[in-house]
Amino acid sequence: MSTRHSRLPSEMTVERIVRTVAETSLDVREGLAGRRGYEDEENPSGEKQLAADLWADELFEERLLAIESVAAYASEERSGVVEADRTANGDGRYHVAIDPLDGSSNLRTNNTMGVILAVYDSPLPARGRDLVASAFVLFGPLTTMVVAVDGSVTEYVLERGSGGVEMRTVTEELTLPDEPTIYGFGGRVPNWTADFEAYVREVERELKLRYGGAMIADVNQVLVYGGVFAYPGLESHPKGKLRLQFEGNPVGHIIETAGGRSSNGERSLLDVPPERIHQRVPVHVGNTGLIDRLEAALDG
C-alpha cells in the first residue's frame, strides 16, 4: 500500500467510509425486492442494468460524497468520476470506486451477490498500489463484509443495531489456507485461450469446481477454502470481462493482503497501469503456487 505521505492511521480516517458502505449495503439488500427488472439503458461497459444497480449506485454516491475525506466517486454504473463539492468537503484525500452490485445477474436466481469498495489515495483511475482499503459485502445466508486495510484482512457479520450498522468481527488476520481445494473460472470453454485451457485441464484434476457467477462470492470461497478464481482473457475479449478499478484491484488487494497472489496473466493486478475508469483486465487470484503456475502456463 502507498506509503507516500504520513497520515492518520487509515482505520481512523477510512473507517467512516467502510462503515458507510456497510450500513448502505444493508439498505441495498433490504431494497432488492421489487428492483429485479432491467432498465432501458446500459452501463458504460455495455451491459444491461437492473433497477437495483442504479438504485444502489445512487445511494452509495450520495452517502459517500457526503463524507468530508472523500474527494471523488466512480462506479460501474456511471461513465465518469463524480467530484465532491469542494466547499462542503474537507481534506478530500480519498477517491472511492464502487461496484454497487457485483453479480447482479444472480438477483433473479436469488444467488449470492454483493458490493465491492475500493478506496484509493490518488485520483481515479488509480493504481492498485494506491489502495488504502478494499472491501466486499456478501449478501449470503448472512450479510458479511471482508475488509483489507493496513496489512490485514478482517471478516465481519453485519447486523442492524440501535445505533445503525453493527460490524461484528468474526475472523481477524484472515489468510488463505496453505492447501488449495477449489477453483472457479469464468468465460466459456470455446472462448478460452489454448494456454489457459491447458492450465484448467491440470487444475480441474486437483481441485473441486465452485463457480457461482458473482466474483466476490467465488473469491470469498477462495479466501476460506483456498484455491483459484479467474475470469481470464478470452479469444474474443483478450482483456476479459472484469473492470480493474472496482473489481480487479480491490479483490487483488484483498487476496494479496491475505497472503495469496493476483495476476493479469503477467504481473500483480496492483501493478497494472490505470488507463480508463472502465478498463477491463483479466483477473486471476488465489494461492501463490496456483497463480505462479498460471503465469507460467500463459507464458507458453
Q: Write out 37-74 in H/E/C secondary structure.
A: CEEEEECCCCCEEEHHHHHHHHHHHHHHHCCCCEEEEE
Q: Which is nearer to ligand AHG, 99 or 130 (CB)?
A: 99
Pick what 213 binds: ligand AHG, Mn ion, none; C-beta below 5 to 8 Å, kind-dependent.
ligand AHG
> Under the criterion CB under 5 A, does residue 218 sit at the interface with Mn ion?
no
Q: 148: which strand partners?
A: 134, 153
- Alpha-carbon span 230 to 186, nearest angstrom: 6
x/- binding map, residues 101-120, to Mn ion, per CB under 5 A? xx------------------
Options 102, 121, 130, 155; binder of ligand AHG; rule CB under 6 A: 102
> Taking contact as CB under 5 A, which single stretch among the options 10-18, 95-103, 169-177, 265-273 is the one that binds Mn ion?
95-103
Supply 117's cell numbers: 469498495
CA trace torsion 177, 181, 184, 190 (10° rounding) = 140
Measure the CA–CA gap between 63 and 70, rounded to whole angstroms.
Answer: 10
Q: Name which of residues 51 to 80 contact ligand AHG (CB under 6 A).
A: 76
Among 120, 220, 231, 298, binds ligand AHG (CB under 6 A): 231
SS3 191: helix
Closer residue to Mn ion, CB minimum distance, 207 or 242: 242
Sheet holding 164-171, edge to edge: 82-83, 70-75, 94-102, 113-120, 131-139, 143-149, 152-161, 164-171
Q: Does 213 bind ligand AHG (CB under 6 A)?
A: yes
The phi-psi region of residue 253 (left if phi > 0; otherwise alpha if psi is between -120 and 50; otherwise beta) is alpha
Partner interacting with residue 23 (select from Mn ion, ligand AHG, none; CB below 5-8 Å by kind)? none
- 251 touches ligand AHG (CB under 6 A): no
At 25, phi and psi to the nearest 5? Answer: -65, -35
Decide if residue 57 touches Mn ion (CB under 5 A).
no
Of all residues in this chain, which one has the CB nearest to Mn ion in the complex?
Answer: 102
What does the DSSP assignment read for 160-185? EETTEEEEEEEESS----SS--EEEE
* Partner from ligand AHG, Mn ion, none binding residue 241, C-beta < 5-8 Å depending on class: ligand AHG
Q: What is the number of H-type helices and E-type strands within the chain?
A: 6, 15
Q: Are 249 and 131 in contact (CB under 8 A)?
A: yes
Supply the minimum distance, in Å, between the C-beta of residue 242 and ligand AHG: 6
The amino acid at 258: A
CB of 56 to ligand AHG, least distance (A): 10
Q: Does 298 bind ligand AHG (CB under 6 A)?
A: no
Which x/- pattern over 82-101 shows residues binding ligand AHG (rule: CB under 6 A)? -----------------x--
Q: Judged by CB, which is closer to ligand AHG: 47, or 271? A: 47
CB of 266 to Mn ion, least distance (A): 22
- Using CB positions, name the residue nearest to ligand AHG: 215
Residues that bind Mn ion (CB under 5 A): 76, 99, 101-102
Chain contacts with ligand AHG (rule: CB under 6 A): 47, 76, 99, 102-105, 186, 213-215, 231, 241
